[in-house]
Amino acid sequence: MSVTAAEGFLASGLHAGIKSRRRDMALLVTQDRAPVTCAAVFTQNKFAAPPVVLDRQKLAENGGRAAGIVVNSGNANAGTGKPGLAHAEAMASAAASAAGVAEEHMLVCSTGIIGTPLPMEKILAAIPKLAEKLSREGAEDAAYGILTTDKTPKQAVIQGSTFTLGGMAKGCGMIAPNMATMLAFLTTDAAMDPELLQRALLDASDATFNTLNVDGATSTNDSAFLLASGRRGVPDAQEFADAVHRLCEDLTLQMARDAEGMTKMVRLRVTGAASDSEARAAAKAIAENNLVKCSWYGADPYWGRLLAAAGSAGIAFETEKSAVAYGGILVAEQGAPLAHDEKAVTEHMAQECAEIEVMLGLGSGEAQVIGIDLGPGYIKENSVTS
């Protein structure tokens, strides 16, 4: 039941006609329609879509509380100006009325193409049907209703000793670090202090969602929410934080495996940087480099491209102290190749998920990025508006 696995939540999803065939709307509400503590992380893109603007405003004004979230896919309601904000408000208002919650506690999310007005007639006609379909079993429909170019829904559940944590997410393109990275909706029946809940989501997002780099593009709509019904009491804080991390990691890896055109996922670690921030900059530069991504597509351990990308990242870099390893096998040191087991490296790179480490030898800074290869599938998907 993923997003409704925790006590106190209902969900639904359906096809409203925004997309030609697939489910394209979802609704998540508290079972008693009362507002609960809600933590949130939003995109850092300054060209934020109206739903992001509205949700930030509502959570700031109501003290971080929510009773529901209505979602549409197929249209991001981004680049739509003041009419777009009015549409987001109307969408939230209609969902609040249909579900029986206070308007100030209904949030709204949109995902899909940019620069096109929402088809409000279809959306407003579908919202009452979404409200009628609400149930704990509706989580599956909801998980499908939030997808855009995703091939499969992303869902996960963690059972703690005194709480349940569940969630769903979408995202397979326009994903880069330092933001929420996609749409994610997490729920728990734990009773959490608002500041601790926000910290748990922020820390987990930073360690998981923010390490995924599909194409270096920061979306206009990215949002992640964690709602806590409090029905099962106060949990152990560390156990809860660890569970949020594990749930977000699970969803992150599901998104990586479903990335647009993806044939290979790479866990890239940069170690030995002058600082963690410089390690993150190097990792980002490597993971977004098209030459590197093409070599990953070809399963080619072309280590020179990795160092070339790191050396151009604007960080402290000394060739004589650098090294590169594929699957734990050292292939280059001091900017030059090393004799190694080429067959073992080739076999490692042939796997769906490869492990690569770039060592800078300058300090204790480190970072990890989950990178994706670049092949014909990604180009085909993004050569037209999608």
Name every residue whose Cβ is closer than 8 Å to that of residue 76 and which is 6 or more positions away in sequence. 49, 110, 111, 112, 113, 114, 220, 221
Per DSSP, the three-state class of 103 is helix
d(CA 94, CA 98): 6
Per DSSP, the three-state class of 383 is coil
Name every residue whose Cβ is closer than 8 Å to that of residue 360 and which is 6 or more positions away in sequence. 270, 271, 272, 273, 274, 279, 282, 310, 316, 317, 318, 321, 322
- Exposed, middle or buried: residue 172 (CB in 10 Å: 0-12, 13-18, 19+)? buried
Per DSSP, the three-state class of 223 is strand
DSSP letter assigned to residue 20: S
39 in Cβ contact with 159 (< 8 Å): no
Token reading at 82: 């003041």
- Exposed, middle or buried: residue 71 (CB in 10 Å: 0-12, 13-18, 19+)? buried
Is 181 noted as a catalytic residue in this protein?
yes
Amino acid, res. 130: L
Amino acid, res. 108: V
φ/ψ (deg, to 5) at 26: -145, 155
Token reading at 213: 């780099």
Token reading at 101: 């919650």
d(CA 164, CA 184): 17
Q: Which of 80, 111, 181, 218 is catalytic?
A: 181
Among candidate residues 345, 368, 358, 357, the one with its CA nearest the CA of residue 299: 345
The neighbour count for residue 343, using CB atoms within 10 Å, is 8
φ/ψ (deg, to 5) at 351: -70, 160
Just list the catalytic residues.
181
